[in-house]
Amino acid sequence: MKQPILGLVSTAIIAALALGIIALSEPSFFMGWLSFAVMACIPTQIIAAFVWGPLFENMPTVSKGCIQTAISLIGGLIFGSALHFLAGQGFGPTPQLMMLTIVTVIATFWIMVAWNAWPFAAIIQSPIALGIVILCSAYVLAYGVFISLFNFHFLAGAEIYISSLETDGLFSAWPVLAYLVTTVAIIMLCLLLDFYPVSLLSLEGSKAAIVNSLWILALAAIPFYGFVYIAGFDPVKYMVRGPVSFIFGAFIVLNLLENSLFGNHRAIIKALLSVLLALVLAFAMQLIYQAFAQWLNPDINSGLPDYQLELWLANAMLAITFPLIVMFSDFFGLWPFRQIRNKQTTTDSPSVNDTLKTEIQN
């Protein structure tokens, strides 16, 4: 099976698997403990794919995938327990704990992609040590951002509000989370564009990290400020309908379709067509997931007071389906639909994932 059929079939199967898992779960369990537990695995999963992945390249596909999956689960258990008992004070999947867990994923994306593992990759030679340092740094960065920027004053007086978990950050939690998620969407946009036009500067190390950061923050501010503060969109609806859905669509293009389409076009044309495809997939998958949510629970509500539909979509797409995409594409190499014999036959064309892995190793 070759691309794009391989990617389309894989997308359908993974989406069906994710929705099946959700359907078999109690709604409160899916929206709480299940989503928290799976999200707690994602930072380790990213490291297992991009930093530790080369350590298992010569292993049989199934063995490699099982080991990387086990590593992700162990990391989720360790770091998830730390988040739950230390930052979350053992209260369970509260809004504070769930948002902090999301920020750890965002921090991992920033370190791995926006900064290309700088400065750690420049001074740490061992892949194992490098991965551990990046993971720990991502959690420290996430916690610092969380306590500095997030506050939950809007929950005061509600049953779910726990005063001891209040962080008293600079901004109300939902808008700042929406902006941070937008930065990840911009990171995915940059990957689809191969970081054009910033890549024309040929920067490395700290200079690349600084310029990439400024570029991402500036681009993220445009849709966030335009939709939330000028157009007056609810920040949660904007976040889910826009950045979350685009991230999901981009991962289908990059991981499952392996960025293999439009290969006969010039690089910039191919990149722009890939962005357009990610937008189309984002819209289509959002409609499919929403239809399933409303079929599963006809009484599900959108918007205030508790954003039931929006949070269902966000958890379904990025907390449940995204880790399955990474596991299936990066850990198992789309096996069994493609039997991998050697590194050269892994993809129909070089993917962004391969480029990232090479850069981190160098």
Instruction: Give the angle 244-34-322 at the CA atoms, nearest 5°.
Output: 35
- Euclidean distance between CA atoms 40 and 75, whole angstroms: 8
Q: How many other CB atoms are there within 10 angstroms of residue 325's CB atom? A: 21
Q: What is the pLDDT of residue 356?
A: 55
Phi-psi region for residue 262, left (φ > 0), alpha (ψ -120 to 50) or beta?
left
Residue type, 269: I
> Residue 151, SS3?
strand
- Euclidean distance between CA atoms 178 and 163, whole angstroms: 23
- Going by C-alpha positions, the residue among 30, 131, 40 that lies closest to residue 85 is 40
| Backbone angles phi and psi of 351, in degrees to 5 | -100, 165
Q: What is the pLDDT of residue 260?
A: 80
CB 20 within 8 A of CB 28: no
Residue the block writes with tokens 């998620």: 181
Q: What is the pLDDT of residue 360?
A: 54
- Euclidean distance between CA atoms 315 and 313, whole angstroms: 6
Q: What is the pLDDT of residue 27?
A: 92
CB 283 within 8 A of CB 27: no
Q: What is the DSSP string of 315-329?
A: IIIIIIIHHHHHIII
Residue 132 structure tokens: 């551990």
Give the DSSP H/E element, type plus range, for residue 222: helix 205-224
- Going by C-alpha positions, the residue among 295, 260, 299 that lies closest to residue 277 is 260
- Euclidean distance between CA atoms 158 and 26, whole angstroms: 23
Q: Which residues of the chain, if any, have pLDDT below 70?
A: 339-362
Q: What is the pLDDT of residue 340?
A: 56
With a CB cutoff of 8 Å and minimum separation 6, the contacts of 114 are 187, 190, 209, 212, 213, 216
Q: How many other CB atoms are there within 10 angstroms of residue 237's CB atom? A: 18
- Euclidean distance between CA atoms 144 and 149, whole angstroms: 8
Alpha helix positions (H), the chain:
5-23, 27-29, 35-50, 61-82, 95-109, 120-123, 127-149, 173-192, 205-224, 235-239, 245-251, 267-296, 308-314, 322-326, 352-361
- Euclidean distance between CA atoms 298 and 209, whole angstroms: 46
- Euclidean distance between CA atoms 307 and 288, whole angstroms: 18
